[in-house]
Amino acid sequence: IAALTVTTAGTLVTGVPGQAADRPGRSRLVAGATPGTPGLGDSYFPDYGNGGYDVDHYDVRLRYDPATDRLTGTTTILARATQDLPRFNLDFLLDVESVKVNGWTAPYAREGAHELAVTAPRRIVRGQQLTIVVRYSGVPSETLIGGYTGWTRTADGALAVNEPESSWWWFPANDHPLDKATYDISVSVPTGVEVISNGVPPRPPLAEAGDRMRWSWRTTSPTATYLAFLAIGQYDVVTDTAPNGQPVINAYSTTLGPLAPAARASIERTAEVVDWASGVFGPYPFEAQGGVAGPVDGIGFALETQTRSVYGPGFWRRGANTYVVVHENAHQWFGDSVSVAQWRDIWLNEGFASYAEWLWSEEQGEGTAQELFDFTYAAYPADSGFWQVLPGDPGAERIFDDAVYDRGAMALHQIRLAVGDEAFFRILPAWTAEHRHGNATVAQFQALAERISGLDLDDLFTTWLLTPGRPALPTAARSAT
């Protein structure tokens, strides 16, 4: 009887889902009673993301006032239910004013640390298209969770740039890399303030009442939630065309003062770096390129925000730094296009982006990867705590530990030595092609490397990624030092 009611007038929209048989063993009679899960089963961050639906697109429409850090907005989420859905969650922290699902007002409640639980106002069946509209407001820099905010307020604006979570402070989302989507992002700000985000502007900034301008940005490639960003403040925007014909849009905070030339001498090489990296990693996976040099009072790190990485000011203090530009742009392949399936797979991001720096060094004649391996190996004494963190399973608190970056790069160099250059430089583009715009695991990388090289690499992967202590070097690879 219940199976019949699924298709009757209680549904929100017409159309019966076509995937009734895609979950073997699950009765349609009871499926409607199962709410969407508050997480996606990530072993490090079990409550990140949500089950029961899959987002296709976010339309994030905001209004922001730098003087008060007040953010108001409406986000429209286009999604598809992957099961009958009496209830589902979004990850979000700001104050919600209303939630509508396919036009119907939906009851909602805050649950847990960052969960917004939404009750289906009408029956939602598996396969159904959902249009979820959330209206909200808040002061993101003062919205703390565990004393922390991923939204950085600055003297002239703000940065929504953080990993592994960032959307909580500016748009409701299914916040896990497993659920990628496209984006339209627009922000109204006082005239004279710039807003930079991912992708390409579909239109020039539009004048609005009250001496304001609305800036629009569009991302047409699938994007993980943490790779969507906002940089709001005083920026010089520099646009150009890359050798591959794509738009290059760079932005420089006007607060950089004497750091500005070093920032420009680095970020203006983005198109060159992308061109070089395309030859090593395979075709560039996205529709635009660029970088944002953030303000002096902004973030203390860089992030590979999709199509347009954001850099903290610290990278320019000792002059130009093309290595960080290489690192963040390598992430466009390793992290942004091929994304982690679980945050435990973070080596696939940071180890590869770090090894890209060694390859660039080799290319620039500034030291071979072998020399950098030897230097790094020696730089961490055998009794250093560094060797106790496992790049293949660093723990949720240590996903950005030096070991994930440096031992992670060393692990890739050992793989290269084991399989030889010919196989190694076939493995990298095969990896980015096979998982383009998708998600992948370390085990899948090992399988690919073994398939292409014809070698059993299990000992090597276990030693370098999953065994505490400084690995002994195989004789052939032993450093000369």
Binding site for Zn ion (CB under 5 A): 350, 353
**Smallest distance, ligand ARG to C-beta of residue 304, A:** 6
Burial class, 379, CB count within 10 angstroms (exposed 0-12 / middle 13-18 / buried 19+): exposed
Q: Which of 44, 43, 40 is nearest to 397 (CA)?
A: 44
Paired tokens of 427:
């493995």
Residues contacting ligand ARG: total by CB under 6 A: 10
Per partner kind, with CB cut-offs from 5 to 8 A, the member of Zn ion, ligand ARG, none near residue 180 is none
DSSP at 102: T
Least separation in angstroms between CB 327 and Zn ion = 5
Binding partner at 301 among Zn ion, ligand ARG, none, C-beta below 5 to 8 Å by kind: ligand ARG
Nearer to Zn ion, 87 or 327 (CB): 327
Residue 181 or 399: which CB sits closer to ligand ARG? 399
x/- track of binding to ligand ARG for residues 294-333 (CB under 6 A): -------xxxx----------------------xx-----
**Other CB atoms within 10 A of residue 364 CB:** 12
Comparison of 350 and 401: residue with beta carbon closer to Zn ion: 350
Binding positions for ligand ARG, 12-71, rule CB under 6 A: none
Strand order in the sheet with 129-138: 104-105, 95-101, 129-138, 70-81, 53-65, 181-190, 212-223, 206-208
Compute the least distance from the CB of residue 330 to ligand ARG, in Å. Answer: 9
N-terminal to C-terminal alpha carbon distance within the chain: 76
> H or E element: which one contains 327?
helix 322-333
Near ligand ARG in 132-171, by CB under 6 A: 162-163
Residue type, 118: V
Question: What is the smallest separation between the CB atom of 397 and ligand ARG, expressed in angstroms?
Answer: 12
Give the one entry of Zn ion, ligand ARG, none that residue 400 binds, where binding means its C-beta sits below a cut-off of 5 to 8 angstroms depending on kind: ligand ARG
Under rule CB under 6 A, residue 402 binds ligand ARG: no
Nearer to ligand ARG, 162 or 289 (CB): 162
Which residue is associated with the tokens 């429409």? 61
Smallest separation, CB 404 to ligand ARG (Å): 9
Three-class secondary structure of residue 462 per DSSP = helix
Tell me 200's DSSP state.
B
CB of 285 within 8 A of CB of 435? no
Site string for ligand ARG, 345-364 (x = CB under 6 A): -----x--------------
Q: Select 94 or 302, whichever has its Cβ closest to ligand ARG.
A: 302
Residue nearest to Zn ion (CB): 353
SS3 19: coil
Q: Mapping DSSP to helix (H, G, I), strand (E, B) and coil, where does residue 463 land?
A: helix
- Shortest distance in whole angstroms from residue 6 CB to ligand ARG: 43
Kindly state the tokens that stand for 68.
């008060």
The answer to whether residues 230 and 158 touch, using CB atoms and an 8 Å cutoff, is yes
Interface residues toward ligand ARG, by CB under 6 A = 162-163, 301-304, 327-328, 350, 400
